[in-house]
Amino acid sequence: MVTEYCHRKHHSADLGDLCPDCQDLLDYAIDRLNHCPRHERRASCRKCVIHCYSPSYRESIRQVMACIGPRMIYLHPVMAVRHMIGEMRARH
Ligand SMILES: [Zn+2]
């Protein structure tokens, strides 16, 4: 998701090649995920982001999601569907 964002927004050479800012954000995201206490049963990544990202990274990841989120259904249909199921469960 971050790679896709970087490719579109920062014109990085190709997918998988991140600019330093996006690499930093991705490292942070992975680090948060590894340390998340609700890792096993967290309902959705958006919820998780809101709770455990520091404000500056939260803003960055929010921009990534705003840019790429709506496209996820086309780019990664399986991931998007899983995500929506997670969101629905979170409401009940
Ligand atoms: Zn970038």
- How far apart CA 14 and CA 33 sit, in angstroms, is 25
For residues 62-80, average pLDDT: 69
pLDDT of residue 42: 47
| Cα(85) to centroid(ligand 1), Å | 29
* CB-count burial class (<10 Å; 0-12, 13-18, 19+) for 55: exposed
Beta strands in the chain (DSSP E): none
Residues with CB under 5 A from ligand 1 (ion): 6, 10, 19, 22
| Cα(10) to centroid(ligand 1), Å | 5
Residue 50 has pLDDT above 70, yes or no: no
Residue 46 has pLDDT above 60, yes or no: no
**pTM of the predicted structure, to 2 decimals:** 0.58
Of 32-36, 40-44, 54-58, 66-70, the least confident:
40-44
